Amino acid sequence: LAVKPLAGKRVVITAGPTREPLDPVRFVSNRSSGKMGYALAATAAELGAAVTLVSGPTALPDPVAVDTVRVETAEEMLDAVQERAADADLFVGCAAVSDHKPAERLDRKRKGKGGFALELTPNPDILAAVAALDNGPVTLGFAAETHDALAHGREKRAAKGADWLAVNDVTEADAGFEADTNRVTLLGPDGEETLPFGTKHEVARALLARIAPRLA
């Protein structure tokens, strides 16, 4: 590529799940593989950006030419993002951040075979925190939805203050969590556009092609 549309830009991307421990051996988490966020990180680097990927636990290797920071919990992800987001031109929140964490984290393995109730408390919202920064980066969030995807996506974009939001319906077998392909509708300042179905790398290229010209 002769022209690199993200040359000189700094991009911070989150990917993967977070793990919220109950005790030293058990955690609350979700099905995110990291594939979509890693595809965005690799693509942004190919397009010339200096990329930092803040990743929850995944089985994927660090993308080439990307500064990769591995974290476990939502709080650790927030700290790693806050250290880097203020200087970024673009923040992409692709991680499936656990909305809740166990209210109590035991130092030793829980014993006993009986049932028990698990109390969860809210985690911080990383995307909303970055979107609220004065002079912060342009923000692209994702919305993982199981029903009424567009309506919920529009509400999420407004509630979190994101500039752009990519909505994916995670009930489809060939989209969302774990799949190699995705189908997203991009909500943004210019309106809404359903992008062509494709591999997560193709979807990453389509997303960044629309957002790159809008960075200051």
Q: Is 9 one of the annotated binding-site residues?
A: no
Catalytic residues: 30
**Contact between residue 176 and residue 170 where contact means Cβ atoms under 8 Å apart:** yes
* 94 scored as a contact of ligand PMT (CB under 6 A): yes
| Residue 53 interacting with ligand PMT (CB under 6 A) | no
Identity of the residue, 20 or 89, whose beta carbon is nearer to ligand PMT in the bound complex: 20
Q: With binding defined as CB under 6 A, does residue 131 bind ligand PMT?
A: no
Contacts to ligand PMT from residues 1-20, by CB under 6 A: 14
Rule CB under 6 A: is residue 149 a binding residue for ligand PMT? no
190 appears as a binding residue in the annotation: no
User: Structure tokens of 149?
Assistant: 């995807």
Q: Which is nearer to ligand PMT, 9 or 168 (CB)?
A: 168
Show Cβ contacts of residue 212 under 8 Å, excluding neighbours closer than 6 positions.
Answer: 5, 6, 9, 47
Is 99 annotated as belonging to a binding site? Answer: yes
Asked if 90 touches ligand PMT (CB under 6 A), the answer is no
SS3 for the chain is CCCCCCCCCEEEEEECECCEEEECCEEECCCCCCHHHHHHHHHHHHCCCEEEEEECCCCCCCCCCCEEEECCCHHHHHHHHHHHHCCCCEEEECCECCCEEECCCCCCCCCCCCCCCCCEEECCCHHHHHHCCCCCCEEEEEEEECCCHHHHHHHHHHHHCCCEEEEEECCCCCCCCCCCEECEEEEECCEEEECCCEEHHHHHHHHHHHHHHHCC
The residue from 56, 63, 102, 141 that contacts ligand PMT (CB under 6 A) is 141
Q: Is 137 annotated as a binding residue?
A: no
Tokens for 44?
């942004």
| Min separation Cβ 137 and ligand PMT, Å | 14
Residues 156-195 that bind ligand PMT (CB under 6 A): 156, 160, 168, 170, 176-178
User: Residue 52 interacts with ligand PMT (CB under 6 A)?
Assistant: no
**95 touches ligand PMT by CB under 6 A:** yes
Binding site for ligand PMT (CB under 6 A): 14, 32-36, 74, 93-97, 99, 123, 125-127, 141-144, 156, 160, 168, 170, 176-178
Mark the binding-site residues, compressed into ranges.
93-95, 99, 109, 124-127, 142, 156, 160
